[in-house]
Amino acid sequence: MSTLHQSLLDSLVYLDKDFVADRYELATGEPAPTTITRPQGKKSGANTLPFSAEVSAREMRSFDVSSSRMLMEIWPDLTEQPAVNVSEYAERSMSEFGWVQGHLSTFQVRSKSQRDGQDVVTAQSSHFQLRGLEHGRYIDLITTPDYFASGFNALLPLQMTLLAKFALPVCMYMRLLPAKDHAENWIAVPLVIVESRPALLRDIQALL
């Protein structure tokens, strides 16, 4: 195992497996064996709505290499991708792919209402955020639990009990969306998140 491969494995926080598989196919030119499944069946008593598809299709691919090996294969090209200037991103823009650097953290939102003169929590949710950007900006992250390295996704429910602080320096390759939360923070889909270790930072040209 090369030093770079070891650094990637040790630093990996989040990896979108669909993204890395698509890029791996593009880089190698070798499509994976693919199976299309179409589960059929209706819920009892359900009526088909106009303009709705009753039958959905799901693509399943099978590779001879692991997702970490795929990441290693596409890493040289990925490190040459540009950074995203979040402060210049505008509403109604196209989504934008690129690198950004900050601190991965968690955030919890609670909605309250008044009942009998007391505050009552009516709804709550937790999500990951990227903080420490210029001008004090945050980025809310839409994540998939299975894409995290082991243990990281367990941090979200720990906010309710054990977790007091969490701030991990990371580099993130993401898809920034033209969407904001109520606090005017942008929303993004992370594709690759690695810890900001010097060995990897030297590779990502946009963050030098």
Distances (CA, A) of 196 to 10, 26, 59, 147: 11, 27, 34, 19
> Does the model's pTM come out above 0.85?
no
Whether the CA torsion 161, 104, 96, 23 is positive or negative: it is negative
Mean pLDDT, residues 38-42 taken together: 56
For residue 134, is pLDDT > 90?
A: no
What dotted CATH number matches 86-207? 2.40.50
Domain limits, the chain: 86-207
The Cα–Cα gap between 27 and 72 comes to 11
Three-state secondary structure along 181-197? CCCCCEEEEEEEEEECC
The Cα–Cα gap between 104 and 146 comes to 17
For residue 175, is pLDDT > 60?
A: yes
The Cα–Cα gap between 50 and 59 comes to 25
For residue 122, is pLDDT > 50?
A: yes
CB count within 10 Å of CB 101 equals: 17
Mean pLDDT, residues 16-24 taken together: 92
Confidence band of 37 (pLDDT split at 50, 70, 90): low
The strand pair at 139-141 and 168-180 is best described as unpaired
* 59, burial (CB in 10 Å: exposed 0-12, middle 13-18, buried 19+): exposed
